[in-house]
Amino acid sequence: MTFRVLPIEPDVLDELRKSDDAGREPQIRIEDDEYGQPLRCCLRRSRPGERIALVSYAPLRRWARDNDAEPGAYEEVGPVFIHAEACDGPKGPEWPEPLRGDRRVLRAYNGNGEILGGSLLDGKTALSERTADDLLLDPEVALVHVRAVEHGCFLFEVRR
């Protein structure tokens, strides 16, 4: 199966840079950590000296609106890092190596935005992209969110 790896859309990023999904102003900082933060705009890690923003983001909100879905309590709002100013986005549609990590949760959602299930990847299981592919084989799965295990943060979305 062919899937698409999707960062946060540029128009949504523009909104978040003004006011995040919790109605707050972004928290701007200059990256000073050599390891960096996972950026949801370009699907790579931030570099020292870059201006980044910490914002609250509801990953299902706009998808639900565009698909007449009602995720209800599944419409979570959580922290994500993005560039403080517009960037060029990801280099390509492939799985973002810099955000792979050893421990990930892939969460599958149905067409109404409700959680159907998912997979815990702990570094001993199959590659994340293969697991996403397996989840998307189920016709009831509309999309998959890839999240960090330790903090539960949304990293990016995968769709057919």
Mean pLDDT on 62-76:
96
Q: What is the C-alpha end-to-end distance of the chain, expressed in Å?
A: 8
Which uninterrupted H or E stretch holds 11? helix 10-18
Q: Could you tell me how far CA 57 lies from the centroid of its own chain?
A: 9
> Residue 2: pLDDT above 80?
no
Predicted confidence (pLDDT) per residue in 85-115, tens digit: 999 999 988 889 899 887 899 999 999 999 9
State the DSSP string of 82-97.
Answer: EESS-----SSSS--G
Based on C-alpha coordinates, what's the Rg of the chain? 15
Predicted confidence (pLDDT) per residue in 11-57, tens digit: 999 999 999 999 999 999 999 999 999 999 999 999 999 999 999 99
The whole-model pTM stands at 0.93
- pLDDT computed for residue 57 by the predictor: 98
Predicted confidence (pLDDT) per residue in 111-160, tens digit: 999 999 999 988 765 567 888 999 999 999 999 999 999 888 999 999 99
- pLDDT computed for residue 1 by the predictor: 59
